[in-house]
A and B are shown apart, each in its own frame.
Chain A
Amino acid sequence: MKFSRRTFLAGMGAATAAAVLPKSRAQAAADSSDTYATLIDLSRCDGCSALNTPLCVAACRTKNASRFPEPDPAMLKDYWPKNFHEDWSTRREITYELTPYNWLFVENVYLDIDGKEEQVNIPRRCMHCDNPPCVKLCPFGTAKKDKNGPVYIDPVACFGGAKCRAVCPWNVPQRQAGVGVYTYLDPVPVGGGVMYKCDLCRDLLAEGGIPACMSACPKQAMTIGKKPDIQRHAEELAASYSGYVYGKTEHGGTGTLYVSKIPFEKIDAALMDGINDSKKVMRFHKPDNVMQKHSALVKTALFAPVAGVIGAFAATVSKREDSNDQQ
């Protein structure tokens, strides 16, 4: 296999190994035309099967521990008029799903491939979409996307209304009650906490580094680079083992490309096997982007001012309307 993390870095103009990447990479981040993309090679990931917690997951938790929410116990109460609230603070140890305290997890799925069972391990986190509805639809403008790709949520202004999660096809942002601006509005029943998710370690990227999960991976299953390079490498990699790519066109394009020997439809079917609530699974489906759902209406809306003006001209050429209304 010609493909390696090294090839990416060479493509980015830095030939040094990822973990000791020099500061010069910061130039790439500064150039706004350079968007990051990541590649996750499922043929490399073994889910750290010998360990309790995969190393990437552990690294992510350590790296972000200081940013995890510390809720005010008095605010850990139900979202009126609902009789529930989302409190993960007593279950911080959970590593098998996305929570406010766990922004990356590894899906393990068993597939029947030509009669023999195969395990597939899939690191899952925010896809850092190209056209992220979570960002575009946040009413408070607190979900943001950096020019160079990372999508993140600013905890300072987040109300925890969870619109971002409602419009995310993978239900990525996770809510913790008892923190954030909504606590100041108590007892007015609005908001519900703060939403948390992977931010692609944008702080490390800005320093010229790479995400914590990636440098922790002993198999080098995850790589980051400039989008065109990553896309090319993903396609070459897929071709090298007649595999498949997920994330390039899905949801209007994402910043995360999965490459697998097994078709993603099969993986998705296996993930969904025996599950009746599709929201409980982080899928490999082909979701529509809600930003594109009503694109015809959006285009029409852009012409609405013109329609109004034309109508006004039409209505004012008629003398009759003019003469029966003098003020």
Chain B
Amino acid sequence: MTNNKVTRHTRAVRLTHWTVAISGFVLLFSGFGTMPLYARFNINKIPGLSWSGDFLIEQGLHYCAAIIFTAAVFFHLVFHLRRREFAALPKKGDVKESLEIVKAMVTGSPEPPSGKFLAEQRLAYAAIGATSLVLIATGLINLDPAFIQTVTLTHTVATMLFLVLFLLHVGAFLIKANRPLLPSMVTGRVRRNYAEHRHTEWEI
């Protein structure tokens, strides 16, 4: 480990992140594919995507990605539970603190001191995590017809939420202040001076 870099994400964490991200993307794509949106919007006319209008292919894809996504999410939960790593969970006052961070990003004033995760990162984590759990639960349940309505509708509504959060998450890297974090999801490390500046309370 070089001195001007600090480890932020271990290999297991990075692997889980990309497994969830890729399978999550496939779930979004194939979920909409089963609706069936692509035949309607001529996506299946795009060269190479002619399969996208096929219900059975989309359904098979959705189920395969669901297996990977679900396993990865459960891996993540138990992995960090066993290691007693709870830094990403929201704390009291995170809403107020996130607003201050956003304000700081806009006005350029200094951000409030942070630990390993910023308040807004903790909130984002909780939101996308909860949405994912709802999607897993409603996806796995194949209840009798009396309940199925609520289940499928919840799955659809949670999908819309997931889509918004997914886009916000990716969109966050358009903001310059967040960009030093990008390489860390590939290499696992961030620049030491970034960490010391932004995550003053992080015991590196």
Task: Give me 29 A-to-B residue pairs in the complex whose CB atoms sit less than 8 angstroms apart, sorted by A's number.
Answer: A82-B40, A138-B149, A139-B152, A139-B153, A139-B155, A140-B152, A140-B153, A141-B150, A144-B149, A146-B145, A163-B35, A166-B36, A166-B55, A294-B56, A294-B59, A297-B63, A297-B64, A301-B139, A308-B71, A308-B74, A308-B78, A309-B75, A311-B71, A311-B75, A316-B83, A321-B11, A322-B83, A324-B10, A327-B203
| CB of A313 within 8 Å of the partner chain | yes
Whole-angstrom distance between the Cβ of B141 and the nearest chain A Cβ: 10
Given contacts A301-B67, A305-B70, contact A312 B79 (CB under 8 A): yes
Asked if A208 lies at the interface with its beta carbon under 8 angstroms from chain B, I say: no
Please determine whether A145 and B145 come into contact, CB atoms closer than 8 angstroms.
Answer: yes
For A79, A166, A167, A325, the residue with the greatest tally of chain B CB atoms inside 10 Å of its CB is A325
- For A315, the chain B residues whose CB sits under 8 A away are 12, 75, 79
Quick check: A161 and B74 within 8 Å, CB to CB? no
Across-interface contacts of A189 in B (CB, < 8 A): 41
A141 and B149 contacting across the interface, CB-CB below 8 Å: yes
Known A-B contacts A163-B36, A290-B55, A315-B12; A327 and B79 likewise in contact (beta carbons under 8 Å): no
The 3 closest A-B pairs by CB, nearest first: A308-B74, A141-B149, A312-B78
Interface size class of A (residues with CB under 8 A): 35 or more
Does B185 sit within 8 A of A, measured CB to CB?
no
Tell me whether A304 and B70 are in contact in the complex, defined as CB-CB below 8 angstroms, given that A81-B42, A298-B142, A324-B10 are known contacts: yes
Contact residue range for chain B? 35 or more
Interface centre among A132, A302, A307, A324 (most CB of B within 10 A): A307
If over half of A's interface residues share one DSSP class (helix, strand or loop), that class is named, otherwise mixed; here it is helix
Kindly identify which residue among B56, B73, B81, B136 contacts A290, using a CB–CB cutoff of 8 Å. Answer: B56
Does A183 touch B at the CB level, under 8 Å? no
Q: Is the CB of B42 within 8 A of A305?
A: no
Contact A313 B82 (CB under 8 A): yes
B21 at the interface (CB under 8 A from A): no
Q: Inside 8 A of B81's CB, which chain A residues have their CB?
A: 312
Closest-CB distance, B120 to chain A (whole angstroms): 19
Decide: A293 near B75, CB < 8 A? Known: A141-B153, A163-B35, A301-B70: no
Question: Is B52 an interface residue when CB atoms closer than 8 A count as contact?
Answer: no
Is A137 in the interface zone, CB < 8 Å from B?
Answer: yes
Identify which of residues 1-16 in chain B touch chain A, using a CB-to-CB cut-off of 8 Å: 7, 10-12
**Given contacts A297-B60, A312-B82, A327-B116, is CB(A138)–CB(B75) below 8 Å?**
no
Interface string of A280-319 (1 = CB under 8 A from B): 0000000000100110011011101111110111011000
- Per-residue CB contact flags for chain A residues 114-141 toward chain B (1 = under 8 Å, else 0) read 0000000000000000001001111111
Q: Are A147 and B67 in contact, with the CB atoms below 8 A?
A: no
Are B67 and A300 in touch, CB under 8 angstroms? yes
Q: Is the CB of A135 within 8 A of B145?
A: yes
